[in-house]
Structure 1
Amino acid sequence: ASGTVDVAGEVGGSVNVLGERVGLFDAKIEASGIDGGGNVRIGGDYQGVGNVPNASYTFVSEDSVITADAIDSGDGGEVIVWGDQVTQFYGSISARGGSEAGDGGLVEVSGKELLIFTGSVDAGASNGQPGTLLLDPENLTISDANAPLVTFLNPDPTVNDFFGVNFSTIAAVGTNVLIGVSGDDPGGIRNAGAAYLFDGETGELLRTFVSPNPGEGNGFGRSVAAFGNNVLIGAFRDDPGGITDAGAVYLFDSSTGELLQTFTSPNPAVNDVFGLPVVAVGKNVLVGARLVDSGGVRNAGAAYLFDGNTGELLQTFNNPDPGINDQFGSSVAGVGSTIFVAAILDDSGGITDSGAVYSFDSSTGELLQTFNNPDPGVLDGFGTSLTTIGTKLILGAVADDTATAIDVGAVYLFDTNTGELLQTINNPNPEVSDGRPSRFGSDITAVGNNVLVGAWGDDTGAVDSGIAYLFDTSTGKLLQTINNPNPTVEDLFGNVVAAIGTNVVVSSPFDDTGAENAGVAYLFPTSFRFNDNPSQTSVIDTSTITNITNTGTDVVMQANSDLTVDRAIITNNPTGEGGAITFQAGRSILINADITTDNGNLNLIANESLTNGVVNAERNPGNAIISVAPGVTINSGTGDTTVILGTGEGLTNNSSGDITLGNLIAGNVEVQNNGANGGGININGAIAADGQVTMLSSGSISTRDITTNTGEVSLTSQNATINTSNGIITTNGGQINFTANSDITTNSLDSSGINSGNITITSQTGSISTRDITTNAGEVSLTSQNATIDTSNGAITTNGGRINFAANSDITTNSLDSSGINSGNITLTSQIGNIFTGDITTNAGEVSLTSQNATIDTSNGIITTNGGRINFAANSDITTNSIDSSGINGGNITLTSQTGKITTGNLTSLGEINGGNILVEASTQITAEQINSSGNSGRGGNVTLDPSGDIQVSWINTQGGTLGGNVDITTASSFRVTDTFTAANGLAASISTIGNNGGGSIIIHHGGNGLIPFDVGNATINGTAGAITSGEFTIAPFQSFPFTYTEGNIQIISIEQPINPVDISEPQQQPSLTPITQQIPNLDVDIAVEEVEGYFTNDFQNHW
């Protein structure tokens, strides 16, 4: 369809263009409305569903325009372009919201199997939400013309090889690529030349061809061509028969490398340069010899047609109008029975060296047509390159002049039968800024119905770096620009071009890869045509995407199988409101280049389900993944980035793997791996988010640096591990939550900021290992339900926040510090394991350590609470360094071991007002340094020590400004107080409970049992080094108490001293007894007397 369809009105009307094959050519469809855009359906309805018939192939030309805008107010319309197999869209669509109010419309351009999209879409809104563009092929690659599919490297690069230099040094041989290197030095013979056959899909070198008669400067490989599956290679300065530079052409078997035929000039002469160029014409071989002295005219030139199998000369074509140095035969081509020969220095139209092209009948040699330069100029190079498409002859005039530039080049299309000029294609970039022309038309090749034109002198990227252009031969319109992927000065990219199917090969013969001017060549994709193979992967240029998102329009790209980004997508909206980008794939999403949305949301959704529109038959087998290449950055600014690997529910092929991401910059970040095979999440770059970062996976999660601006970081691994050891997590006050089934390993975690971000780490079956953890009054909670916690490689600092560790097995820490304005408690609990800590510090917060079935060891650090309570409870041993709960009021200290011993440093609960109580209970023994529970202006704290075995301390001070604290010592063994301090009464005391209003009681229960005395003044075995004093009462050295002794409120309790002690050091004399001579009568004892006797007997026995 072409022409104009106008259904504009108050609200835009509806337009349907339907059929099996639908095409818009130079069409204008107007469906705008003052209060809302209309509906336009080209080839089908939304996503190919609905009641209208779907087209198999849909085509929209570059000059077609579809408009469904809201003019004043209202939403933009809906425009659908659909093809069940192939959709090619080169036109433009506008579905904008109203200028006063209204949202942008919905635009879909989709080919169910193949989409070619190089057009433009604007669904923006000036005063509303932007609309959406949906692109939906089977496989989608976002790239650009600078993305080569294959790079063909010079296999033996040396200086000035000129790999792929003109003329005609590249040819397609089936699916393979033949490239000549006339400057190669095989066997050390300078510039003897070579040719290389490569696999056209992989770039692998398949075979090397060298001249059967190598000679210095022979130029073997300067022209090549395919002859069926065999190869023709010219050596234009070969010396057949000893004739210098007469030239030759060789035919080789491409599979074996066997020489099949040699072609030489029928009349060889010095410097004929036979073989420059050579082409195959059906079963024949056409060879140019531009410097043959045809008709006796020097360098007039000639061309020869040979039977390709026998080598028989079939026809000689001489210059119809020979002139000196016309160089007839400089370019040749053939199609069917017609031969084309160019004479690039022919004086056409009387203009010196303007050039001409002639066509001949291949059978008779008859001249059929003369093609003259339509705009002849001196040295235009008309005919420098030749090709044919059907009945069209296409030729380059590499130095043609335009109205505004000299020697910039042009391409002309003629009717081969009539000689009529059909089309002139001018250089799109006719620059001569460096004083040198761009050489547009230096080589050309047919690509289907299009033509690829090289311009090796173009300065895009660098001076003479080169360029190539693809044009539509019917309209002359530029379809594609192919830039040098690695532009440097004088690369001469575009010097030679060739087609291989729908792809093209472009040489860069002066590229310095491997060596100076060694040369390289590239294979590029081109735009597909109307009835190309729908199984191909759709390729959309990145600029096509950004031209749309720059307007604020959202873009949704869907692929039933894979979606690949090979070139950067950089959105740049004038107001910083780029359109959102959504990638949805039935299988995988592969991001190999940066994406910047200019604050638009970015959504990556792979392994999509059947219900979300994936075509089951087009989802390829293999694991679904989302992969961002190393070094790639995804930047959605203040917009959100969402990455989801789905379940693939309903699909036959729904297996899945990992999500692998790189650098992320976003508002909020959400990453989910919900795949059926339990894949993980791997973050190989830094994440910077304004808001939250959330990751959920059934598999493992590993990250590097994560930074948020008060946003929460939440990582959940449902069946595996979390590892952030390669990066630091910083949230500026946001919470940090890690939950995993197995091990959790972290580097530093920092939630400090104005807000109090809690940090919570929970492992169901695995261990937890961390480095530094820092909060600003936020709680730190670590729970290992079935394994260990280890923070020994870092410090935990909360500025007043609580610290809670709970593990089934061992807990090992470095320093723990909850000090701050708030009183953060520190609680460590192990079910069956040990607890090992470094320094523990709080500001009046409680410290509670509980090992229900093992030991507690804090000997690597000091416990300081500034008045907070300290409670240690272990089933087995407790070992500590100094413990200090001093503060305005000292905090209570309680150490309890059910089956083991307790060994501590100083125990201090001193208070500026009241001292805290100190209770130490052990199953076996207690060893401590100084014990100080004194209160400066108030009460002293009580001290209780109660093991079954020995007790040893340095001294005990429970003095108070008002009342002294009580001291209660209970042991079944010995009690030693090994040092003294100066008590309030000036005595060198080991124990003092002095108080201004009364001293505390002192009770010492020891196990001397009358055999081992308690010595005041000797602590060697059982006793004190100094005095024991409560102020009012004192026991001063030296005194020894084998039995219980009481001095006021001081009691030393062992056993009571025996009543009437007997000196048994000397045996008594045997007394004289008076014999009993009379019968003693029986005496009846009252039962009450018997009970009294029994009572005193038991009391006596129990006492001893």
Structure 2
Amino acid sequence: MFIQKKSHLKAHLVFSFLFFSKTVFALPVLDNVTSGDVALSQQSLQKLEVTQKSQKAILNWESFNIHEHESVHFKQPENGITLNRINPRQGVSEIFGKLSSTGRIILINPAGIYFGPTSRVDVGSLIASTANITDKNFLNGKYHFAQEKKFHGDIINKGTLIAKNHGLIALAADSVRNDGLIEANLGEIVLASGKKFTINFAENDLVSFVIDAPLSADASSDVAINNTGVLRADGGEVLLTAQSASRMLDQAINMEGIIQAQSVSQKNGVIILSGDENSKITVSGSLDVSGKNPNTKGGSITVTGNNLYLTSTAQLDASGDQGGGIIRVGGNYRGQGPLLNANFNTTSQGAKISADAISQGNGGEVIFWGDTATGFHGSITARGGALGGDGGFVETSGNYLSIASAKVNTSAAFGKYGTWFLDPTDVSISTSATSNESFASGTYTPSTDTANINTSELETNLGSGNVSVITTSGGSGAGNITVTDSIAWSASSTLTLTAGNNLTINASSISDSSGGLILTATSGTIGLNGATLTVGSGGFTANDPVQLGTDVTITAGTGAITFNDTINSSSATARNLTLSTSGTQTFQGIIGATNALASLTTGTGTAAINSWTITTNGSTGMVFNGPVVADMTSPTPAVFDAGTGPINFTSTLNSGSAQRGITLTTSGTQTFGGAVGGTLALDTLDTGTGSVVINGGSMTIGAGVTGQTYNGPVTLGADTTFTTTNKAVTFNSTLNSSTSTARAFTASLGSGALTFTGNVGATNALAALTLNNTGTTTITGTLTGASLTTNASGTTVIDGGAVTTTGAQTYNDAVTLGAGTTFTTTDSALTFASTLNSSSATARAFTASLGSGALTFTGNVGATNALGALSITNTGTTTVTGTVLASSLTKSGTGATAINGGSISTSGSQSYAGAVSLGANTTLTLSGSGSTSLSLANNISGGYNLTLTGSAGNNTFTLGGTLTLGNVAVNGYSSGTNTFSLDTSGTQAWTISSANTGSLSSISSVSGAFTFS
């Protein structure tokens, strides 16, 4: 039967009433159709079919009820939608039978709609509400709904409501209750309470459900949304949302039942329980967005409102086969982000929260936040996958925080542990019970401004994941963290303590064999008043100023130890800081500037020094047991001030990313156990006045400011090379081998100067000294070594009086003598490959004692500034290639003298004990005015002319041995007396001048022509 008009329908129903039972009246009664092409057909007394040919239709019903054995079916075109507006004067619509449709149905009854226990709804989509919508908005696709002032009906479901895949079931009223089953797989389920709301679609898919106005104060229900049944939308979304104008509701949302939106394939489930700033939400049932089928991940759960309470039976599950999902209760991370923050957030002991990765992948993210207070006493797991993946992230935070009995597990079987993050106002960590709260009717109320975390509970949770405690100032709390009692755990998890103000560790120890410890005091200081901190590969980090209230030892195994700010003793009582690790130790701030440390001892790992000053004042000083890297951001040299204590670099010392300098200030011993600048040269190196021990083999400085300066006595424990880039190396005190084992000394300085202010090798001789620099080398004290070689075109200034070597001495650069100097070798050569002069007009004596070693003057001697007395003793050959100017010359020993340079001039006498050979015509001159002598007592050879010229005073000329020469000229001065003693053999011409004022005597075996003038 097709009914087109209201009057026909009424007539038919009246007729039916006269002949059939009362049950017939349960079927809906149509008033009119205001839009669309619709026909009604009652196929039997218990079945009504509504056929809609238009895409949209609006039906106004006089009544709309369906008895237990009755059914109503809407036959609609694809994507068709029917607005069914029910006259509220009929009262609550009661549906006990079957309601079905091929498309979407909207049921509007301001008086309310009741789906009984026997009801079953099978639709494409269903919106059931007490809020009305205008015909115009409906027809234009604007789904704006508003409650009528005089009606405040409820929507209650105790039956079964099922939407097709991708469909929607939305129940919206002042109060909505579900005690039955609602299912919309791959689609959406909405239970909503508000005065006005808007539904937005994209084609047939729900985009958003927005409450535009909260419930008014005259709403009748104490609970806006109540679910004790089952809401199932696998692969879809479930939204429970309620807003009220004031705190008039006992509860905005009460969730005792089951909400399931498990992930399907790549579509993750979503559950949202959304209240407003006036709402209280209680969860005692199950929220399930798990993805436990292969290749699925966990979905997301969001619970927001003013006062949130999860009871002991609450279960939230966002675990997934390939990764955990997201659970946010009370807000985003640290209360930041778009979500509404809860004021109070309480979870009872027994509640279970899961965001695990099951097979593989990372654990999920779980956030519990309360602006005023958070009391979390349940359990949370966000574990990495069994086959691989890292642990997840968990936050339980509030200005006031209680975590008594809380259990958090972010472990990972084959990955990194995740983190448990706590963010109260003030917190203490002690053996006291975890609380400071009262709890009633689902509300957590802190009794003080300081939360306490029980150490045993903290240790238990660290056994299954990282834990972070962060405080911020709020209420009367300053944001302090105080660790009163010791903490110990054994897992590879990290404890992070971040105080908004001060962080104080009074516990005697914090200990973990494989995890880590991170300390931060954002606006205060980190007080280390406990003696021992032990961590593992996770390392130790202090991000803010550290104050030592006692001697502190930090042990990190292979982990890093990092200080990102200053370190000081907490008072004038200096404290010892001892680090033990093979990992990197980083110092970013000044150490001991306010209150010095007693000592600083590092582990065997690299110490990265980014600090400009390190100050200690104890007897232990500074001990760097591993490599040191100077990595300051500024080129200003770092100052290591140990007072009277030692400074010990047991391993290498280098610059970091750029060349940087080091200044040591101490009267104690400074030890360099490894190479300095071998990887990246230092910019400068200055030592203190204490002794310096160099055992590392090389000391390298780049193009710095001052090069290397050693202000205390230096000893070499290894053969050592000193290198600079055109910068000086200065030894302001002595230089020795550290033991009787002689150590080689090599300097390669470019154009840099080399200065030995004190004696070199006087206590323990050096081995070979090799000096390579074009700058000036100054030897102020005595020098003793195995050998000495200068190899560049610089100048060597010898002011110390004695250079003694067992081996050869070779001066390839110019030499000047600032003092009378004795050169001694043990039967080894002494060579001057360049010039030799006094350093000023004051003539300096030159003494050579060489045993059988040869002496060679390649360049001029005394040409610029004459030498004083030259005294040469050796049995080896003395070779003179250039001119010689000196006060006198005495050649002792049997060694020959080879004169290849043309002239030797002395103001005093000259004496040659050994044979003399001439490599060129040669003049020997006595240039003084006093009595002088010139003696050549042995053979003279070479075939060249020899001229002997006397002084202006009395002269004695003595020649002996065999002469194999050209002409011999002996020139005296007429003003003095000239004595000639000739006892020679050989044939050469003689010219003797000024003989009339002297005598000629002791002539034997002299042949050749004589000429006298």
Conservation of the 8 A alpha-carbon contact between 2:410 and 2:418: yes
Query: Which amino acid in 1 is paired with 2:331?
Result: G
Conservation of the 8 A alpha-carbon contact between 1:587 and 1:606: yes
Which of 412, 419, 424 pairs up with 1:132?
419
Q: CA deviation at 1:550?
A: 0.9
- The verdict on how the C-alpha distance between 1:1054 and 1:537 changes in structure 2, with shifts beyond 3 A counting, is farther
Q: CA deviation at 1:955?
A: 2.8
**What residue number does 2:838 align with?**
946
Residue 669 (structure 1) aligned with residue 564 (structure 2): no
Q: CA deviation at 1:142?
A: 1.4
**1:471-870 to 2 correspondences below 5 Å:** 530-533=444-447, 536-560=449-473, 561-573=479-491, 578-593=492-507, 594-607=509-522, 624-629=524-529, 631-645=530-544, 662-666=552-556, 667-673=559-565, 684-697=576-589, 700=592, 704-709=599-604, 711-718=605-612, 726-732=620-626, 735=629, 743-746=639-642, 758=654, 771-779=669-677, 789-790=687-688, 792-802=690-700, 807=706, 811-817=710-716, 819-820=718-719, 823-825=721-723, 835-839=732-736, 843=744, 845-846=746-747, 856-858=757-759, 864-869=766-771
| Post-superposition CA distance 1:666-700 (Å, at most 9, x none) | 2212212179xx99999732111212111122565
Q: CA deviation at 1:95?
A: 2.0
**What residue number does 2:781 align with?**
880
> d(CA) in 2 for partners of 1:1002 and 1:984?
17
- Taking only the aligned residue pairs, the percentage that are identical comes to 20
| Post-superposition CA distance 1:6-27 (Å, at most 9, x none) | 4144244444444433223322
Conservation of the 8 A alpha-carbon contact between 1:698 and 1:720: yes
Query: Which amino acid in 1 is paired with 2:816?
Result: E
- Of structures 1 and 2, the larger Rg is shown by 2
Q: CA deviation at 1:590?
A: 1.2
Name stretches of at least 5 consecutive residues in structure 2 with no aligned partner.
Answer: 1-281, 292-296, 474-478, 879-888, 955-970, 978-1013
Which of 360, 364, 374 pairs up with 1:77?
364
- The verdict on how the C-alpha distance between 1:1051 and 1:1035 changes in structure 2, with shifts beyond 3 A counting, is closer
- The verdict on how the C-alpha distance between 1:991 and 1:625 changes in structure 2, with shifts beyond 3 A counting, is farther
- The verdict on how the C-alpha distance between 1:569 and 1:596 changes in structure 2, with shifts beyond 3 A counting, is same
> d(CA) in 2 for partners of 1:579 and 1:972?
77
Conservation of the 8 A alpha-carbon contact between 2:824 and 2:849: yes
- The verdict on how the C-alpha distance between 1:1039 and 1:742 changes in structure 2, with shifts beyond 3 A counting, is closer
Conservation of the 8 A alpha-carbon contact between 1:994 and 1:1031: no
- The verdict on how the C-alpha distance between 1:846 and 1:765 changes in structure 2, with shifts beyond 3 A counting, is closer
| Post-superposition CA distance 1:819-856 (Å, at most 9, x none) | 44x7555899679x983233267536237799989993
Conservation of the 8 A alpha-carbon contact between 1:721 and 1:741: no
Conservation of the 8 A alpha-carbon contact between 1:879 and 1:903: yes
> d(CA) in 1 for partners of 2:582 and 2:807?
47
| Post-superposition CA distance 1:200-253 (Å, at most 9, x none) | xxxxxxxxxxxxxxxxxxxxxxxxxxxxxxxxxxxxxxxxxxxxxxxxxxxxxx
SS for the counterpart of 2:446 is coil
**What residue number does 2:819 align with?**
926
> d(CA) in 1 for partners of 2:935 and 2:731?
43
Conservation of the 8 A alpha-carbon contact between 2:520 and 2:544: yes
> d(CA) in 1 for partners of 2:947 and 2:715?
41
Name stretches of at least 5 consecutive residues in structure 1 with no aligned partner.
Answer: 150-446, 450-471, 476-527, 609-623, 647-655, 1017-1025, 1066-1104
> d(CA) in 2 for partners of 1:568 and 1:1052?
97
- The verdict on how the C-alpha distance between 1:758 and 1:806 changes in structure 2, with shifts beyond 3 A counting, is same
> d(CA) in 2 for partners of 1:1060 and 1:39?
115
TM-score (norm 2): 0.52
- The verdict on how the C-alpha distance between 1:830 and 1:893 changes in structure 2, with shifts beyond 3 A counting, is closer
- The verdict on how the C-alpha distance between 1:846 and 1:102 changes in structure 2, with shifts beyond 3 A counting, is closer
- The verdict on how the C-alpha distance between 1:131 and 1:104 changes in structure 2, with shifts beyond 3 A counting, is same
| Post-superposition CA distance 1:642-679 (Å, at most 9, x none) | 21128xxxxxxxxx98999821122212212179xx99
> d(CA) in 2 for partners of 1:736 and 1:853?
25
SS for the counterpart of 2:314 is strand
**1:1085-1100 to 2 correspondences below 5 Å:** none
Q: CA deviation at 1:588?
A: 1.9
SS for the counterpart of 2:458 is helix
Q: CA deviation at 1:795?
A: 1.5
> d(CA) in 2 for partners of 1:92 and 1:603?
24
**What residue number does 2:957 align with?**
none
Conservation of the 8 A alpha-carbon contact between 2:290 and 2:319: yes
**1:4-153 to 2 correspondences below 5 Å:** 4-10=285-291, 11-35=297-321, 36-145=323-432
Q: CA deviation at 1:634?
A: 1.7
Q: CA deviation at 1:950?
A: 3.3
| Higher mean displacement: 962-971 or 138-147 | 962-971
| Post-superposition CA distance 1:836-895 (Å, at most 9, x none) | 2332675362377999899933366567351512779779x95212243617x7878986
- The verdict on how the C-alpha distance between 1:146 and 1:81 changes in structure 2, with shifts beyond 3 A counting, is closer
Query: Which amino acid in 1 is paired with 2:787?
Result: S
> d(CA) in 1 for partners of 2:754 and 2:383?
72
Conservation of the 8 A alpha-carbon contact between 2:462 and 2:494: yes
Query: Which amino acid in 2 is paired with 1:567?
Result: D
Query: Which amino acid in 1 is paired with 2:584?
Result: Q
Q: CA deviation at 1:1046?
A: 9.8
Query: Which amino acid in 2 is paired with 1:633?
Result: T
**What residue number does 1:494 align with?**
none
SS for the counterpart of 2:444 is coil
Conservation of the 8 A alpha-carbon contact between 2:606 and 2:628: yes
Q: CA deviation at 1:109?
A: 0.6
- RMSD of aligned Cα (Å): 5.5
Conservation of the 8 A alpha-carbon contact between 1:855 and 1:874: no
Conservation of the 8 A alpha-carbon contact between 2:833 and 2:856: no
> d(CA) in 1 for partners of 2:303 and 2:731?
78
Conservation of the 8 A alpha-carbon contact between 1:892 and 1:918: yes
- The verdict on how the C-alpha distance between 1:636 and 1:998 changes in structure 2, with shifts beyond 3 A counting, is same
Q: CA deviation at 1:920?
A: 3.4
Conservation of the 8 A alpha-carbon contact between 1:732 and 1:750: no
Residue 905 (structure 1) aligned with residue 905 (structure 2): no
